[in-house]
Each structure stands twice: as C-alpha cells, then as structure tokens.
Amino acid sequence: MPLRLYNTLTQQVQEFTPMDGKTVRMYTCGPTVYNYVHIGNLRTFTFQDILRRWLRARGYALNHVMNITDVEDKIIRSAMQQGKTLHEYTEPFEKAFLEDTDALRLERPERLVRATEHIPEMVAAIEKLEQKGFTYQSDGSVYFKISKFAGYGKLSHLDVSGIRAGARVDVDEYDKADARDFVLWKAKRDSEPSWDAPMGAGRPGWHIECSVMAMKYLGDTLDIHAGGVDLTFPHHENEIAQSEALSGKQFSRFWLHAEHLIVEGQKMSKSLGNFYTLRDLFERGYQPEVIRYLLVSVPYRKKLNFTFDGLKAAATSIDRLRNYKLRLDTDKFAAGENAAITERTALALKQFEESLDDDLNTAEALAAIFEYVRDTNSSMDAGEFDEGNRAAAQELFARFDSIMDVLKPTSREVGISEAQIDALIAERVQAKKTKNFQRSDEIRAELLVGGVILEDTKEGMRWKRK
C-alpha cells in the first residue's frame, strides 16, 4: 500500500506523491518567537519531523521551508514594554527554539526564513492584490475582502454565506464565528515599529507572511502545508485566499494538521498558563528522548493528553528497547538461522512500515516493534534465536530508530567518556582476577555515579548509560 495522508482540504485520507514525483515541497508554520515554545508547540514540530523522515524513507527528497514569525501583535507589545527593538527581543527566543528542536532531535528544515527579512516581497504582494481588486483601505490599513474570493471557507469547511460584508478584523487570531475581512497591512500606530510602503507606513499582518514566503521559495503550488489544528482557521484559510487570489492556482495540494497536546482536557497554551517548556521538563530530570518518545507515541491526529505518568511510561519503554538492543548486539547465539524468526522479523518490518504509510500511525508502528521485542526475547530465552537472525533484527531496529530516534542516550556535557569507561572496566576485570573485590566494587560504584550501569552476564561484562 502506498503512503496515505489525511488532507484537511478534502477531509479524506489520500494517497500522497509529490507533484514532480521526486521532491516534496513543504511549508510548515514555525514559531512566533515571543517566548519559549512549550511542549504543545513541540508536539506539532515533532509530528513534522516524523513526516519528514518518513517521506525520505519512502524515497522522496525534501524541500521544506519553515518561517520564524518575528513581527506580530504580541512581539511588538512585549518588545515595546522592554524598550527593545524587534530583533533584540526575538533573537534569544529564536536561538532557544533551535536549541529545543535540536535537543528533541528534530531535523532542521532545508530553509528557515524570518518574516522581517521579507517585507518588500509582502508589500509587493499586497500591491498586486490591490490591483486585482481583492482589497480595500480603511484608516491607512489594507484589508482582504473575503467576499471577493469565491473559495473562502473551503479549508475549514465553513459556510460564509451569512457573513456580513465589510466587517473587518485587525487582530491576527480570531474564531470561526468572527470570520471577517482580515488585515494585510496594519497602519503604523504611535511609536510602533513600522516599514515604509506605498500604502503608508505600517507592518504586515501575520497571514500574508506565510503566503509570501511559501510562494517565494516553493512556487505557486506546494505539495504539503502543515501546522497545528488551531491554524486551520483563520490562518490557513486566509493563506489560501491570499495565495490563490495572487496566482490563480491551487496553493497547496495537501493540508496536514496536528491535533493538540492537552492538559486536563484543555489545550496547552501560554494564555491558559497550563504549559511546560522543554527546559521545565529537563529540570525535572526528563531526558529529551523520553519527551520525544511521548510526543511521537500518539498518532498526530489524536489529542495527546500530557501527564507525568505518561513521561515515566515513555522512559520505561525506552529502557525496554535499549535493553533488548543491548542483548541483540552482545548475546552469543547458536550458529544457523531460524526460519520462523526470519519470517517474524520480516513481518515486524512490514507492520512498522505499513503503520507509518497509514497516515503516520506511530502508535501502531511502536506496537509492532514491542510485540517483536516480546516474541524474540522469549525466543532468545528458549535458545531459538540464532546467529543468522541477528543482522535482520538489527536492521529492523535501525529502520525503527531512523524514524523514532529514541535509542541513543543524550550525551551529557559533564560525564564519563567511553575511553574512561573502557579503562575502568579493564581495571575492574583485572581487580576481579586478583580477587581485589573491594576495588572491583568501587569501580562499579564510580561508574554508577557517572551514569553508567555495569552488567555481569555469562557472555562477559557489558555496560549501558542510565
């Protein structure tokens, strides 16, 4: 079965191939850098990482653009309160965003673009919309006339027939119930930061940023446009209106939306104050890969209920996988190849891949691996897993981890290096030989403090990081 993705535009799961058969041209809405991102935001970005990795696993190249929204209502308000320029205010949060996404092992898009570096292109797009008759001016601001665009509402499946013509909205975010003409260019107010433009000094609205940057780098028609489900309306609806009014062509073939991460039934959000940043969770001792595991464990179109028990369960799951991997890599198996296990491995790989082809069903993909671990652990206990089965099982794990990326422990800046570990283990082997058990125990304790666990097995000594 080919790769299938749910398209918000058609409300159907559809087979996906890029328009040119080779390269996926994808645009995702990036962060608004007015604060640290929270793990709700990171859920959406982690879904995009899985999407990237799986598209590549399916043989496609990627051309992925993500914007950094560095001019917007909240940013302007905060920057002015602190007496900073927009750039002075946003730069540390942009840096923190990249640190956070790197820590979670999210691949960087091919291009990250800042809104403030594309103002002339936005002004040109607004002028073109004016020439085409899609806009009007009021008090120095320019608005998009939604009644002029026949397809308005097609993404969010909104019936706009009863909407009052001429009612307009200046804020960037609003509800479906408030569907109105939206602002493309906001007239400068008081001492707000602004740019000069033929329509008067001002600044762009949020929606035009994405349309302009997406089309500049990816052309008139994208393969995929993605974001969190809260962006469907008004942001993505407005992006479609602007872009299609400009080009006369379909803006994006697929629209993908990640459901929210919720806390006690409510969306995690800055405004509700019910949020955790990645840094909060690091301080509580959770490793990045544990958080990543939790974020990928629920398929992206289902709500993810965040709990600390969920994080603990994620840590246990990773431990199980690592222990299994250690056994797989280091146990001695009998010569030969068990045909039933060869088949079992092929089945697990098939289940893993089919689950991801099925609209990125990460929960099923993980279940396929856990069932395999349970079955083959038993086979190993029973002495049925042979040397000839090892390589295929390792390949299955490599395939799994090339997408999920949770097996590698996060290296600590201060910690014990592999060379030090090897030296201490060699010393301990020697100590045991000379029956110096005190030194042998000391070394075990020393390694434990450095986060390294030793295991004496019948095959010899092995170690892992905590």
β-strand 222-228 against 202-204: which pairing, if any? Answer: unpaired
Using the rule CB under 6 A, is 205 a contact of ligand AMP?
A: no
Q: Which of 45, 13, 16 is nearest to 29 (CA)?
A: 45
Q: How far is the CB of 30 from Zn ion (least distance, A)?
A: 8
Question: Are 361 and 299 within 8 A, CB to CB?
Answer: yes
Is the Cβ of residue 41 or residue 101 nearer to ligand AMP in the bound state? 41
Q: Spell out, one character per residue from 208 to 227, where the chain touches ligand AMP: x when CB under 6 A holds, - when not.
A: -------------------x
Helical segments of 267-361, H only: 278-283, 288-297, 308-330, 339-357
Using the rule CB under 6 A, is 228 a contact of ligand AMP?
A: yes
Pair of tokens at residue 381: 């206990």
Is the Cβ of residue 186 or residue 236 nearer to ligand AMP in the bound state? 236
Is the Cβ of residue 115 or residue 328 nearer to Zn ion in the bound state? 115
Using the rule CB under 5 A, is 29 a contact of Zn ion?
A: yes
Q: Looking only at residues 252 through 271 of this chain, which bind ligand AMP when binding is defined by CB under 6 A?
A: 258, 260-261, 267-269
What whole-number distance in Å separates Cα of residue 12 and Cα of residue 18?
A: 17
3-state SS, one letter per residue, for 160-227: CCCCCCCCEECCCCCCHHHCCEEEEEEECCCCCCCECCCCCCEEECHHHHHHHHHHHHHCCCEEEEEE
Chain centroid to Cα 240, Å, comes to 23
Q: Which of 297, 402, 406, 368 is nearest to 57 (CA)?
A: 402
Is the Cβ of residue 16 or residue 47 nearer to ligand AMP in the bound state? 47
Stretch touching Zn ion by CB under 5 A, among 14-22, 50-58, 203-211, 251-259: 203-211
β-strand 168-169 against 304-305: which pairing, if any? Answer: unpaired
Using the rule CB under 5 A, is 210 a contact of Zn ion?
A: yes
Using the rule CB under 6 A, is 204 a contact of ligand AMP?
A: no
Is the Cβ of residue 134 or residue 306 nearer to ligand AMP in the bound state? 306
Partner interacting with residue 210 (select from ligand AMP, Zn ion, none; CB below 5-8 Å by kind): Zn ion
Q: Which of 224, 239, 320, 228 is nearest to 37 (CA)?
A: 228
Using the rule CB under 5 A, is 184 a contact of Zn ion?
A: no
Is the Cβ of residue 93 or residue 333 nearer to ligand AMP in the bound state? 93
Partner interacting with residue 40 (select from Zn ion, ligand AMP, none; CB below 5-8 Å by kind): ligand AMP
Single out the residue of 25, 43, 180, 465 in contact with ligand AMP (rule: CB under 6 A): 43
Q: Spell out, one character per residue from 116 to 155, where the chain touches ligand AMP: x when CB under 6 A holds, - when not.
A: ----------------------------------------
Pair of tokens at residue 367: 């279940």
Stretch touching ligand AMP by CB under 6 A, among 26-34, 106-114, 287-295, 357-365: 26-34
Q: How far is the CB of 458 from Zn ion (least distance, A)?
A: 57
What φ, ψ does residue 163 adopt, rounded to 5°?
-80, 135
Q: Which of 189, 236, 212 is nearest to 120 (CA)?
A: 212
Contacts with ligand AMP, residue ranges (CB under 6 A): 29, 31-32, 40-41, 43-44, 227-228, 230-231, 258, 260-261, 267-269
